[in-house]
Amino acid sequence: MTLLLATTLLAPAAHAYDHTHAGFAAVLEGAVFEDGTVDYAVIKSRRAQLGAYLEDNANANVSTFKDDEQVAFWINSYNALTLDVVSEREPLPGSIRDILGGKVWEEKVFSVGRQKVTLNDIENKILRPRTDGRIHAVVNCASKGCPPLPLRPIVAQDLQGQLDAAAKRWVASNAFKMERGVLELSKIFQWYTEDFTGLKPGQGSAEDMIKGGRMFIEKYGGKIDGEVKKTVWMEYDWALNKR
């Protein structure tokens, strides 16, 4: 009994996960800008900090997290991993699609939350089943066509407020463009129709895609002024979102 008690007292305390994501906040501060661009030179100088944050995420027991904590964890993990994959390249790629022949999302495997996952796994198997279009406003693929990278980590305590703010920021940035009666919508509304309409995969028509995009834009502060004579999908810009 005495030996057992001594062993228990000497055992190191379990590492409590930091749900403020302060380590990631330190990486992002001053490196991400309101227009969505990223100073990758700053990110490169903080790769040790980024690596420490990702190591914490690799060892995190996500199954013990509350629901909002899990959502915040996976969003931040996706964005941190993307920054790491890009910033480790020298020189920087012109596009994230230059990495692994454009298959970085499927082929690069990471340790996150005590499991092996790809970026596609995080986005499509963990986050997207929630069918919340706002998720697309906070998951960033390091490209100019993407919604802007959040300036700060997503935290469970203010998850809904941050998702709303990110949706508004995306709508005000590059979710759509209206010029001379032609409405251009981000291809994200086309690629992920079910997340904006609630329809099952493969059920959305071209009209549903447009309707879902317009509803999201109008809900989060976008104003489509004048008569829409034609709706087209905006050419997606895969150029790196560098400053």
Dump pLDDT digits (tens) for 173-225: 999 999 999 999 999 999 999 999 988 877 778 999 999 999 999 999 999 99
Name the residue type at position 168.
K
To the nearest whole number, what is the mean pLDDT of the chain?
A: 94
User: 174 CB contacts (<8 Å, ≥6 apart)?
Assistant: 36, 144, 145, 147, 148, 186, 234
What is the pTM for the complete model shown?
A: 0.93
Residue 217 burial (CB count, 10 A): 24
Tokens of 112: 């996150």
Helices 47-59 + 67-87 axis angle, to 10: 140
Residue 5 has pLDDT above 70, yes or no: no
CA distances to 126, 155, 182 from 18, in Å: 21, 10, 47
Q: Is pLDDT of 169 > 90?
A: yes
